[in-house]
Structure 1
Protein backbone atom coordinates (compact mmCIF):
# COMPACT_ATOMS: atom_id res chain seq x y z
CA UNK A 1 0.00 0.00 0.00
CA UNK A 2 1.40 3.39 -1.01
CA UNK A 3 1.79 6.04 1.67
CA UNK A 4 -0.61 8.98 1.19
CA UNK A 5 0.57 12.57 1.36
CA UNK A 6 -0.42 14.06 4.70
CA UNK A 7 -1.98 17.27 3.30
CA UNK A 8 -3.56 15.82 0.16
CA UNK A 9 -7.09 17.33 0.12
CA UNK A 10 -8.36 14.07 -1.39
CA UNK A 11 -7.21 11.93 1.52
CA UNK A 12 -10.09 10.53 3.55
CA UNK A 13 -8.49 10.11 6.94
CA UNK A 14 -8.82 11.41 10.48
CA UNK A 15 -6.40 13.70 12.27
CA UNK A 16 -4.47 10.86 13.91
CA UNK A 17 -3.63 9.30 10.55
CA UNK A 18 -2.77 12.63 8.96
CA UNK A 19 -0.60 13.52 11.98
CA UNK A 20 1.30 10.24 11.57
CA UNK A 21 1.94 11.04 7.91
CA UNK A 22 2.97 14.58 8.86
CA UNK A 23 5.52 13.25 11.34
CA UNK A 24 7.09 11.00 8.70
CA UNK A 25 6.98 13.44 5.80
CA UNK A 26 7.62 16.77 7.53
CA UNK A 27 9.42 16.10 10.83
CA UNK A 28 11.30 12.86 10.17
CA UNK A 29 12.54 10.34 12.72
CA UNK A 30 14.85 12.06 15.20
CA UNK A 31 13.42 15.48 14.39
CA UNK A 32 11.81 17.89 16.84
CA UNK A 33 8.65 19.96 16.59
CA UNK A 34 6.50 22.22 18.75
CA UNK A 35 2.79 22.30 19.49
CA UNK A 36 2.62 25.58 17.59
CA UNK A 37 4.07 23.93 14.49
CA UNK A 38 1.55 21.11 14.87
CA UNK A 39 -1.33 23.57 15.18
CA UNK A 40 -0.11 25.44 12.11
CA UNK A 41 -0.11 22.16 10.17
CA UNK A 42 -3.69 21.40 11.23
CA UNK A 43 -5.50 24.75 11.44
CA UNK A 44 -8.99 24.56 12.86
CA UNK A 45 -8.39 21.17 14.52
CA UNK A 46 -8.80 21.82 18.24
CA UNK A 47 -7.38 18.51 19.50
CA UNK A 48 -4.55 17.81 17.08
CA UNK A 49 -2.09 17.29 19.95
CA UNK A 50 -4.40 14.71 21.54
CA UNK A 51 -4.74 12.82 18.25
CA UNK A 52 -0.95 12.88 17.99
CA UNK A 53 -0.69 11.32 21.48
CA UNK A 54 -3.08 8.58 20.35
CA UNK A 55 -0.31 7.31 18.09
CA UNK A 56 1.61 6.07 21.13
CA UNK A 57 -0.98 3.33 21.53
CA UNK A 58 0.20 2.11 18.10
CA UNK A 59 3.88 1.97 19.15
CA UNK A 60 4.85 5.40 17.80
CA UNK A 61 7.64 6.86 19.93
CA UNK A 62 7.29 10.58 20.68
CA UNK A 63 9.18 12.13 23.60
CA UNK A 64 8.49 15.30 25.59
CA UNK A 65 10.89 17.26 27.81
CA UNK A 66 9.85 15.14 30.81
CA UNK A 67 11.40 12.13 29.08
CA UNK A 68 14.27 13.87 27.28
CA UNK A 69 15.94 16.63 29.28
CA UNK A 70 17.60 18.06 26.16
CA UNK A 71 14.20 19.29 24.96
CA UNK A 72 12.64 22.62 25.82
CA UNK A 73 9.22 22.67 27.47
CA UNK A 74 7.46 23.35 24.17
CA UNK A 75 9.43 20.76 22.18
CA UNK A 76 8.74 17.14 21.32
CA UNK A 77 10.97 14.65 19.53
CA UNK A 78 9.72 12.10 16.99
CA UNK A 79 11.83 9.00 17.68
CA UNK A 80 10.34 6.20 15.63
CA UNK A 81 7.27 5.37 13.57
CA UNK A 82 5.08 2.49 14.71
CA UNK A 83 2.10 0.76 13.14
CA UNK A 84 1.26 2.24 9.71
CA UNK A 85 -2.10 3.58 10.86
CA UNK A 86 -3.03 4.74 7.35
CA UNK A 87 -3.32 1.03 6.46
CA UNK A 88 -6.77 0.01 7.76
CA UNK A 89 -5.81 -3.66 8.10
CA UNK A 90 -2.67 -2.90 10.12
CA UNK A 91 -4.58 -0.39 12.23
CA UNK A 92 -7.38 -2.83 13.08
CA UNK A 93 -4.90 -5.62 13.85
CA UNK A 94 -2.97 -3.37 16.25
CA UNK A 95 -6.00 -1.64 17.77
CA UNK A 96 -5.28 -0.88 21.45
CA UNK A 97 -6.82 -3.18 24.00
CA UNK A 98 -9.08 -1.95 26.77
CA UNK A 99 -7.14 0.43 28.99
CA UNK A 100 -5.71 -0.91 32.23
CA UNK A 101 -7.78 0.48 35.11
CA UNK A 102 -6.30 2.74 37.77
CA UNK A 103 -6.86 0.03 40.38
CA UNK A 104 -5.04 -2.57 38.27
CA UNK A 105 -2.22 -0.13 37.59
CA UNK A 106 -1.60 0.60 41.26
CA UNK A 107 -1.70 -3.10 42.16
CA UNK A 108 0.82 -4.05 39.47
CA UNK A 109 3.14 -1.12 40.27
CA UNK A 110 3.15 -2.13 43.95
CA UNK A 111 3.76 -5.78 43.06
CA UNK A 112 6.74 -4.79 40.89
CA UNK A 113 8.16 -2.43 43.57
CA UNK A 114 7.52 0.62 41.36
CA UNK A 115 10.40 -0.38 39.07
CA UNK A 116 10.71 -1.47 35.45
CA UNK A 117 10.82 -5.27 35.46
CA UNK A 118 13.30 -5.23 32.57
CA UNK A 119 15.99 -2.73 33.61
CA UNK A 120 15.01 -1.94 37.23
CA UNK A 121 14.73 1.83 36.79
CA UNK A 122 12.27 3.78 38.95
CA UNK A 123 10.01 6.61 37.81
CA UNK A 124 11.92 9.87 37.13
CA UNK A 125 15.27 8.17 37.79
CA UNK A 126 17.97 9.09 35.19
CA UNK A 127 19.24 6.26 33.02
CA UNK A 128 22.78 5.21 33.87
CA UNK A 129 23.89 5.45 30.22
CA UNK A 130 21.90 8.58 29.34
CA UNK A 131 21.30 11.06 32.17
CA UNK A 132 19.26 13.30 29.86
CA UNK A 133 16.45 10.74 29.90
CA UNK A 134 14.53 9.61 32.96
CA UNK A 135 12.40 6.55 33.60
CA UNK A 136 8.73 6.78 32.68
CA UNK A 137 6.85 3.76 34.01
CA UNK A 138 3.59 2.31 32.79
CA UNK A 139 1.68 -0.91 33.25
CA UNK A 140 1.24 -2.71 29.97
CA UNK A 141 -0.06 -6.01 28.65
CA UNK A 142 2.54 -8.49 27.46
CA UNK A 143 2.08 -11.83 25.77
CA UNK A 144 3.69 -14.44 28.00
CA UNK A 145 4.51 -18.08 27.26
CA UNK A 146 3.96 -20.01 30.49
CA UNK A 147 5.98 -23.05 31.60
CA UNK A 148 3.38 -25.45 30.16
CA UNK A 149 3.56 -23.76 26.76
CA UNK A 150 0.22 -21.92 27.07
CA UNK A 151 0.17 -18.24 26.15
CA UNK A 152 -1.55 -15.58 28.25
CA UNK A 153 -1.65 -11.79 28.20
CA UNK A 154 -0.41 -10.55 31.58
CA UNK A 155 0.18 -7.14 33.14
CA UNK A 156 3.73 -5.95 33.81
CA UNK A 157 5.54 -2.73 34.77
CA UNK A 158 7.92 -1.45 32.09
CA UNK A 159 9.67 1.82 31.33
CA UNK A 160 9.07 3.46 27.99
CA UNK A 161 12.57 2.70 26.69
CA UNK A 162 12.48 -1.01 27.53
CA UNK A 163 8.97 -1.37 26.16
CA UNK A 164 10.12 0.05 22.84
CA UNK A 165 13.25 -2.10 22.81
CA UNK A 166 11.35 -5.35 23.34
CA UNK A 167 9.45 -4.73 20.14
CA UNK A 168 6.38 -6.66 21.20
CA UNK A 169 8.23 -9.95 21.66
CA UNK A 170 6.59 -12.26 24.24
CA UNK A 171 7.99 -13.02 27.66
CA UNK A 172 9.12 -16.66 27.92
CA UNK A 173 8.48 -18.23 31.32
CA UNK A 174 9.17 -21.62 29.73
CA UNK A 175 12.70 -20.57 28.74
CA UNK A 176 13.32 -19.03 32.18
CA UNK A 177 12.28 -22.29 33.86
CA UNK A 178 14.61 -24.26 31.59
CA UNK A 179 17.54 -21.96 32.39
CA UNK A 180 16.86 -22.42 36.12
CA UNK A 181 16.73 -26.19 35.77
CA UNK A 182 20.13 -26.05 34.07
CA UNK A 183 21.74 -24.40 37.12
CA UNK A 184 23.93 -26.27 39.56
CA UNK A 185 22.22 -27.29 42.84
CA UNK A 186 24.08 -24.54 44.74
CA UNK A 187 23.05 -21.84 42.27
CA UNK A 188 19.44 -23.06 42.32
CA UNK A 189 19.34 -22.81 46.14
CA UNK A 190 20.79 -19.29 45.93
CA UNK A 191 18.21 -18.28 43.33
CA UNK A 192 15.43 -19.72 45.47
CA UNK A 193 16.55 -17.54 48.38
CA UNK A 194 16.49 -14.48 46.09
CA UNK A 195 12.94 -15.38 45.01
CA UNK A 196 11.82 -15.72 48.63
CA UNK A 197 13.31 -12.33 49.56
CA UNK A 198 12.05 -10.68 46.39
CA UNK A 199 15.49 -9.30 45.58
CA UNK A 200 18.91 -10.48 44.55
CA UNK A 201 21.56 -11.02 47.19
CA UNK A 202 24.65 -8.84 46.87
CA UNK A 203 28.30 -9.31 47.74
CA UNK A 204 30.45 -6.77 49.56
CA UNK A 205 31.99 -5.90 46.18
CA UNK A 206 28.53 -5.30 44.67
CA UNK A 207 27.59 -3.00 47.55
CA UNK A 208 30.87 -1.06 47.33
CA UNK A 209 30.45 -0.54 43.58
CA UNK A 210 26.81 0.54 43.93
CA UNK A 211 27.71 2.99 46.69
CA UNK A 212 30.53 4.44 44.59
CA UNK A 213 28.32 4.86 41.50
CA UNK A 214 25.74 6.79 43.53
CA UNK A 215 28.26 9.40 44.66
CA UNK A 216 28.48 12.78 42.90
CA UNK A 217 31.34 12.97 40.40
CA UNK A 218 33.54 15.11 42.65
CA UNK A 219 33.10 12.66 45.51
CA UNK A 220 34.05 9.79 43.20
CA UNK A 221 37.27 11.66 42.37
CA UNK A 222 37.99 12.04 46.09
CA UNK A 223 37.49 8.32 46.70
CA UNK A 224 39.82 7.37 43.83
CA UNK A 225 42.43 9.84 45.06
CA UNK A 226 42.24 8.40 48.58
CA UNK A 227 42.76 4.89 47.25
CA UNK A 228 45.70 5.93 45.08
CA UNK A 229 47.27 7.79 48.00
Structure 2
Protein backbone atom coordinates (compact mmCIF):
# COMPACT_ATOMS: atom_id res chain seq x y z
CA UNK A 1 0.00 0.00 0.00
CA UNK A 2 1.50 3.39 -0.99
CA UNK A 3 2.22 5.86 1.79
CA UNK A 4 -0.03 8.89 2.10
CA UNK A 5 1.59 12.18 1.13
CA UNK A 6 2.83 14.10 4.15
CA UNK A 7 1.24 17.36 2.94
CA UNK A 8 -2.04 15.91 1.68
CA UNK A 9 -4.77 18.25 3.02
CA UNK A 10 -7.13 15.28 3.20
CA UNK A 11 -4.84 13.38 5.56
CA UNK A 12 -6.55 13.32 8.96
CA UNK A 13 -3.44 12.74 11.07
CA UNK A 14 -1.49 14.64 13.69
CA UNK A 15 1.88 16.30 13.38
CA UNK A 16 3.84 13.26 14.55
CA UNK A 17 2.43 11.14 11.71
CA UNK A 18 2.87 13.93 9.15
CA UNK A 19 6.40 14.47 10.46
CA UNK A 20 7.21 10.79 10.00
CA UNK A 21 6.00 10.91 6.40
CA UNK A 22 7.93 14.16 5.84
CA UNK A 23 11.14 12.52 7.07
CA UNK A 24 10.67 9.64 4.62
CA UNK A 25 9.43 11.60 1.62
CA UNK A 26 11.43 14.82 1.91
CA UNK A 27 14.50 14.21 4.06
CA UNK A 28 15.33 10.55 3.41
CA UNK A 29 17.31 8.14 5.58
CA UNK A 30 20.93 9.18 6.10
CA UNK A 31 20.30 12.86 5.36
CA UNK A 32 20.19 15.87 7.64
CA UNK A 33 17.46 18.36 8.46
CA UNK A 34 17.12 21.45 10.63
CA UNK A 35 14.57 23.00 12.94
CA UNK A 36 14.11 25.77 10.39
CA UNK A 37 13.10 23.20 7.77
CA UNK A 38 10.59 21.75 10.22
CA UNK A 39 9.14 25.22 10.88
CA UNK A 40 8.77 25.84 7.15
CA UNK A 41 7.16 22.43 6.57
CA UNK A 42 4.69 22.91 9.46
CA UNK A 43 4.30 26.70 9.68
CA UNK A 44 1.11 26.78 11.73
CA UNK A 45 2.08 24.06 14.20
CA UNK A 46 3.64 24.97 17.53
CA UNK A 47 6.40 22.64 18.78
CA UNK A 48 6.41 20.60 15.58
CA UNK A 49 10.02 19.64 16.32
CA UNK A 50 8.88 18.08 19.62
CA UNK A 51 6.22 16.04 17.82
CA UNK A 52 8.90 14.72 15.49
CA UNK A 53 11.17 13.91 18.45
CA UNK A 54 8.30 11.83 19.84
CA UNK A 55 8.97 9.39 16.99
CA UNK A 56 11.99 8.15 18.95
CA UNK A 57 9.57 6.43 21.31
CA UNK A 58 8.50 4.35 18.30
CA UNK A 59 11.97 3.26 17.27
CA UNK A 60 12.78 6.10 14.85
CA UNK A 61 16.45 7.07 15.06
CA UNK A 62 17.62 10.67 14.68
CA UNK A 63 21.04 11.86 15.79
CA UNK A 64 22.03 15.31 17.05
CA UNK A 65 25.48 16.87 17.41
CA UNK A 66 25.70 15.20 20.84
CA UNK A 67 26.01 11.81 19.12
CA UNK A 68 27.53 12.94 15.80
CA UNK A 69 30.23 15.62 16.02
CA UNK A 70 29.95 16.34 12.27
CA UNK A 71 26.55 17.96 12.89
CA UNK A 72 25.94 21.54 13.99
CA UNK A 73 23.69 22.40 16.91
CA UNK A 74 20.88 23.09 14.44
CA UNK A 75 21.25 19.87 12.46
CA UNK A 76 19.86 16.40 12.98
CA UNK A 77 20.51 13.29 10.93
CA UNK A 78 17.64 10.94 10.10
CA UNK A 79 19.08 7.44 10.49
CA UNK A 80 16.29 4.86 10.53
CA UNK A 81 12.54 4.48 10.09
CA UNK A 82 10.76 2.92 13.06
CA UNK A 83 7.17 1.84 13.63
CA UNK A 84 4.86 2.94 10.78
CA UNK A 85 2.93 5.37 12.96
CA UNK A 86 0.53 6.25 10.11
CA UNK A 87 -0.87 2.72 10.57
CA UNK A 88 -3.21 2.91 13.60
CA UNK A 89 -2.89 -0.82 14.34
CA UNK A 90 0.93 -0.73 14.31
CA UNK A 91 0.98 2.45 16.36
CA UNK A 92 -1.33 1.05 19.04
CA UNK A 93 0.70 -2.15 19.24
CA UNK A 94 3.87 -0.12 19.77
CA UNK A 95 2.47 2.50 22.15
CA UNK A 96 5.36 3.40 24.46
CA UNK A 97 5.30 1.73 27.84
CA UNK A 98 5.44 3.60 31.09
CA UNK A 99 8.54 5.77 31.16
CA UNK A 100 11.58 4.35 32.92
CA UNK A 101 12.20 6.45 36.03
CA UNK A 102 15.50 8.21 36.65
CA UNK A 103 16.03 6.00 39.71
CA UNK A 104 15.59 2.87 37.58
CA UNK A 105 17.95 4.25 34.91
CA UNK A 106 20.68 4.97 37.45
CA UNK A 107 20.33 1.51 39.00
CA UNK A 108 20.53 -0.25 35.61
CA UNK A 109 23.52 1.82 34.43
CA UNK A 110 25.36 1.17 37.69
CA UNK A 111 24.66 -2.56 37.35
CA UNK A 112 26.01 -2.48 33.78
CA UNK A 113 29.10 -0.47 34.89
CA UNK A 114 28.03 2.52 32.78
CA UNK A 115 28.91 0.64 29.60
CA UNK A 116 26.90 -0.47 26.58
CA UNK A 117 25.99 -4.12 27.12
CA UNK A 118 26.40 -4.78 23.38
CA UNK A 119 29.68 -3.13 22.36
CA UNK A 120 31.18 -2.30 25.78
CA UNK A 121 31.79 1.40 25.16
CA UNK A 122 31.49 3.86 28.05
CA UNK A 123 29.38 6.99 27.86
CA UNK A 124 31.26 9.96 26.36
CA UNK A 125 33.97 7.81 24.76
CA UNK A 126 34.66 8.08 21.03
CA UNK A 127 34.09 5.04 18.83
CA UNK A 128 37.37 3.51 17.70
CA UNK A 129 36.16 3.40 14.09
CA UNK A 130 34.58 6.86 14.06
CA UNK A 131 36.16 9.50 16.29
CA UNK A 132 33.49 12.02 15.27
CA UNK A 133 30.88 10.12 17.25
CA UNK A 134 30.82 9.85 21.01
CA UNK A 135 28.78 7.27 22.86
CA UNK A 136 25.54 8.34 24.51
CA UNK A 137 24.13 5.69 26.83
CA UNK A 138 20.48 5.07 27.52
CA UNK A 139 18.46 2.44 29.32
CA UNK A 140 16.16 0.51 27.01
CA UNK A 141 13.80 -2.43 27.14
CA UNK A 142 14.97 -5.70 25.58
CA UNK A 143 12.71 -8.69 24.97
CA UNK A 144 14.53 -11.72 26.30
CA UNK A 145 13.97 -15.48 26.19
CA UNK A 146 14.94 -16.84 29.62
CA UNK A 147 16.49 -20.28 30.25
CA UNK A 148 13.04 -21.83 30.80
CA UNK A 149 12.00 -20.44 27.35
CA UNK A 150 9.60 -17.89 28.88
CA UNK A 151 9.76 -14.34 27.53
CA UNK A 152 10.32 -11.23 29.62
CA UNK A 153 11.12 -7.60 28.83
CA UNK A 154 14.23 -6.55 30.75
CA UNK A 155 16.10 -3.26 31.12
CA UNK A 156 19.61 -2.94 29.66
CA UNK A 157 22.15 -0.19 29.01
CA UNK A 158 22.85 0.46 25.33
CA UNK A 159 24.60 3.17 23.34
CA UNK A 160 22.54 4.93 20.70
CA UNK A 161 24.61 3.48 17.85
CA UNK A 162 23.96 -0.11 18.91
CA UNK A 163 20.33 0.70 19.55
CA UNK A 164 19.91 2.21 16.09
CA UNK A 165 21.52 -0.86 14.49
CA UNK A 166 19.43 -3.38 16.40
CA UNK A 167 17.37 -5.75 14.28
CA UNK A 168 14.72 -6.33 16.92
CA UNK A 169 15.82 -9.93 17.51
CA UNK A 170 15.18 -11.41 20.93
CA UNK A 171 18.02 -11.81 23.40
CA UNK A 172 18.17 -15.56 24.08
CA UNK A 173 19.46 -16.80 27.42
CA UNK A 174 18.42 -20.34 26.47
CA UNK A 175 20.73 -20.33 23.43
CA UNK A 176 23.56 -18.83 25.51
CA UNK A 177 23.30 -21.70 28.00
CA UNK A 178 23.28 -24.27 25.20
CA UNK A 179 26.40 -22.73 23.68
CA UNK A 180 28.18 -22.61 27.05
CA UNK A 181 27.34 -26.26 27.74
CA UNK A 182 28.90 -27.22 24.40
CA UNK A 183 32.29 -25.92 25.61
CA UNK A 184 34.97 -28.23 26.91
CA UNK A 185 34.88 -28.57 30.74
CA UNK A 186 38.03 -26.46 31.17
CA UNK A 187 36.59 -23.64 29.09
CA UNK A 188 33.33 -23.82 31.04
CA UNK A 189 35.22 -23.41 34.32
CA UNK A 190 37.18 -20.47 32.91
CA UNK A 191 33.99 -18.79 31.68
CA UNK A 192 32.37 -19.30 35.08
CA UNK A 193 35.30 -17.46 36.71
CA UNK A 194 34.75 -14.56 34.28
CA UNK A 195 31.06 -14.53 35.17
CA UNK A 196 31.82 -14.53 38.91
CA UNK A 197 34.24 -11.59 38.48
CA UNK A 198 31.86 -9.93 35.99
CA UNK A 199 34.75 -9.33 33.62
CA UNK A 200 36.67 -11.31 31.07
CA UNK A 201 39.99 -12.74 32.12
CA UNK A 202 43.15 -12.42 30.05
CA UNK A 203 46.21 -14.54 29.43
CA UNK A 204 49.79 -13.42 29.99
CA UNK A 205 50.18 -13.26 26.19
CA UNK A 206 47.15 -10.97 25.87
CA UNK A 207 48.46 -8.70 28.64
CA UNK A 208 51.84 -8.47 26.92
CA UNK A 209 50.16 -7.63 23.61
CA UNK A 210 48.05 -4.89 25.26
CA UNK A 211 51.17 -3.43 26.90
CA UNK A 212 52.88 -3.34 23.51
CA UNK A 213 49.90 -1.77 21.74
CA UNK A 214 49.66 1.04 24.31
CA UNK A 215 53.15 2.25 23.37
CA UNK A 216 53.69 5.10 20.87
CA UNK A 217 54.59 3.95 17.36
CA UNK A 218 58.31 4.82 17.73
CA UNK A 219 58.50 2.89 21.00
CA UNK A 220 56.82 -0.12 19.36
CA UNK A 221 59.52 -0.04 16.66
CA UNK A 222 62.20 -0.09 19.38
CA UNK A 223 60.55 -3.05 21.11
CA UNK A 224 60.29 -4.94 17.83
CA UNK A 225 63.96 -4.29 17.05
CA UNK A 226 64.99 -5.43 20.52
CA UNK A 227 63.04 -8.66 20.18
CA UNK A 228 64.28 -9.40 16.68
CA UNK A 229 67.85 -8.72 17.74
Give TM class, smaller chain. Answer: over 0.9
Partner of residue 218, structure 2: 222
Aligned length: 225
How far 1:41 sits from its partner (Å)?
Answer: 1.0
Alignment of 1:91-130 (within 5 A): 91-130=91-130
Structure 2 unaligned blocks of 5 or more: none
Partner of residue 176, structure 2: 176
Partner of residue 9, structure 1: 9
Partner of residue 33, structure 2: 33
Aligned to 2:216, what secondary structure does the other structure show?
A: helix
Partner of residue 72, structure 2: 72
In the TM superposition, what whole-angstrom CA distance separates every residue of 1:33-80 from its partner, at most 9, and x where no partner exists? 111111111113221111111111111111101111111121111111
How far 1:2 sits from its partner (Å)?
Answer: 2.7
Q: TM-score, normalised by structure 2?
A: 0.92
2:212–2:220 CA contact under 8 A, matched in 1: no
C-alpha separation between the residues in 1 aligned to 2:211 and 2:56?
37
Q: TM-score, normalised by structure 1?
A: 0.92
Shift in alpha-carbon separation, 1:127–1:208, aligned structure 2, 3 A: farther
Partner of residue 163, structure 2: 163
Structure 1 unaligned blocks of 5 or more: none
Partner of residue 204, structure 1: 204
Aligned to 1:166, what secondary structure does the other structure show?
A: coil
In the TM superposition, what whole-angstrom CA distance separates every residue of 1:67-113 from its partner, at most 9, and x where no partner exists? 11111121111111111111111111111111111111111111000
C-alpha separation between the residues in 2 aligned to 1:76 and 1:140?
22
C-alpha separation between the residues in 2 aligned to 1:52 and 1:179?
42
